[in-house]
Amino acid sequence: MTVDTQTEYRKNRATLSYGLIGFGRIGQRVVRCLAAKNGSPTLVAVLVRPEQKAAAEAALGASLVHTSINSFLAIESAVTIECASATALRNYGISILSSGSDLLPLSLAALTDRDFETDLFAAATRGPGRLEIPAGAMGSIDFLSAAREDALRSVVFRATYPAARWRGTVAEEMIDLENLTSAECFYRSTVREAVIKFPRHINVAVGVALAGLGLDDTRVELFANPLITQATFEVEAEAGPGPARLTIYGRNAGLGADPIDYTTFSLVRALCRRTDRVIV
């Protein structure tokens, strides 16, 4: 690395910019968390729907808020976080990568569409932007990526929700939620099939699948439990280094409350790793 290259590298690290697509609960927490950290990446643009513009401007100032993808991309942020919706990821993901911005997407249910999955990965391969899949609500799933190096052969993702949280979904056709008295598994399938049926409940399973065996070879088991008030996620894997199991418990929160899970903090960590001098 030449002296000039070293100087440019240090400059880029010190001025890392990020853009945000979506400014809901997760987006707002990401902004607050990063703003409280010394030397953290700098927010330079936020893309929201027109009806959300006034609220976003009140929180961030008019100069940061965009309602057009073209004006958003013109800011040329180094990294773009998508925390809006699967529709937003489908509409903008490829353009973001083609613009040169790296992409950290959360709405991974969009990848259950095989054509879009292929196209997004192809866009990342072409670059210049890179695609980085955050761990999301699982907190850390690096062990799955590591296990791919040595005979990863089985991955099961289990999601257990309070029974009431499955109301209004096709789960009502599979299990008697009203008269359930204990935890019960009501659905088993692949990640791709499960997320298509329950796109708002197990989006996190796509990240698990991509870290390991893929959407079609990672198994899903869904449970309803009337005795709990927050979700539990579990990943169980078999690989050459030995069996592994990771369990994440959500906060004890009411059904209408914001659970504040690991999703926000996985994004914060992914960004800070790009500027930290010591990376753990």
Residue range 227-241, pLDDT digits in tens: 988 889 999 999 999
Give the architecture-level CATH label for domain 3-132+263-272: 3-Layer(aba) Sandwich (3.40)
- Confidence check: pLDDT of 14 > 90: no
Residue range 193-224, pLDDT digits in tens: 999 999 888 889 999 999 999 999 999 999 99
Residue range 23-77, pLDDT digits in tens: 999 999 999 999 998 888 999 999 999 999 999 999 999 999 999 999 999 999 9
Residue range 136-183, pLDDT digits in tens: 888 778 889 999 999 999 999 999 999 999 999 999 999 999 999 999
Check residue 261 and give its pLDDT. Answer: 74
**CATH class of the domain whose range is 142-249:** alpha beta
Fold match flag (3-132+263-272 vs 142-249): no
Read off φ and ψ for residue 184, nearest 5 degrees: -145, 135
Residue range 72-126, pLDDT digits in tens: 999 999 999 999 999 999 999 999 999 999 999 999 999 999 999 999 999 999 9
Q: Where are the domains of the chain?
A: 3-132+263-272, 142-249
* Cis amide linkage into residue 128, ω under 30° from 0: yes
Average confidence (pLDDT) over 240-268: 81
The sheet with strand 42-47 has its strands ordered as 65-66, 42-47, 17-21, 79-82, 102-105
Pair of tokens at residue 248: 């994440």
pTM of the model: 0.89
